[in-house]
Amino acid sequence: MFELRPEGPGDQWEVEALYDLCFAPGREALSSYRLRDAVPPVADLCLVAVDSGAIAAAIRFWPVRIGAARALLLGPVAVHPTHQGEGIGAWLIREGIERARARGWPRMMLVGDAPYYGRFGFTRLAGVTMPPPTNPERVLGLALQPGAWDHVKGHVTPAA
């Protein structure tokens, strides 16, 4: 049975090791990491799934801006290879979406695979530009409040 809880300060290195295991070397060179540099994650939304004392999955969220509009950047989300295919990643995503909505965040975005994230309601964001070299087809958004993406266009920048 998995325990879902907020990521704590003592979890940082275990979570980073999980991300290193699940993603290609050089993951920190991706454009989304430029939006995370020197910006703390939204701590109350970052979650871990723990199995027998070990972190089996993790998700983080980061504050960003598109012009004057605030948004959450979802990612990374990772599941240990021994637990992939069990629905833990989807559980973390759904829980993160609901917690963000409950905390009044208007919109969420990510860079990812549209067929996978579409099942959570994410769609392609036309007119929202991530730092290069990001494929614009992979820039996806989800309105957490009705109309939250209406008229939101521009470059994604780190939150101050």
pLDDT of residue 32: 74
Tens digits of residue pLDDT in 6-20: 999 999 999 999 998
CB 153 within 8 A of CB 145: no
- Taking residue 106's Cβ as centre, other Cβ atoms within 10 Å add up to 18
Cα separation, 91 vs 4, in Å, equals 9
What is the domain count for the chain? 1
Cα separation, 128 vs 124, in Å, equals 9
Q: Tokens 């759904």: give the residue.
A: 94
For 151, the domain range is 3-158
CB 101 within 8 A of CB 144: yes
Q: How far is CA 71 from CA 25, 58, 64, in A?
A: 28, 20, 5
The CATH number of whichever domain residue 61 belongs to comes to 3.40.630.30
Indicate the pTM of the whole model: 0.93
Tens digits of residue pLDDT in 84-135: 999 999 999 999 999 999 999 999 999 999 999 999 999 999 999 998 888 9
pLDDT of residue 90: 97
Q: Tokens 């993951």: give the residue.
A: 27
Instruction: Identify the residue with better confidence: 160 or 46.
Output: 46
> What confidence category does residue 33 fall into, taking pLDDT thresholds of 50, 70 and 90?
low
Residue 90 parent element (H or E): helix 88-102
Q: How far is CA 153 from CA 88, 122, 126, 134, in A?
A: 32, 16, 8, 16
Tens digits of residue pLDDT in 57-81: 999 999 999 999 999 999 999 999 9
What secondary structure does DSSP assign to 11-48, as a single string?
GHHHHHHHHHHHS-TTGGGSHHHHTTTT----GGG-EE
Residue 142 has pLDDT above 90, yes or no: yes
Residue 26 has pLDDT above 90, yes or no: no
pLDDT of residue 27: 67
Give the three-state DSSP class for 112: coil
Residue 51 parent element (H or E): strand 47-51
pLDDT of residue 29: 61
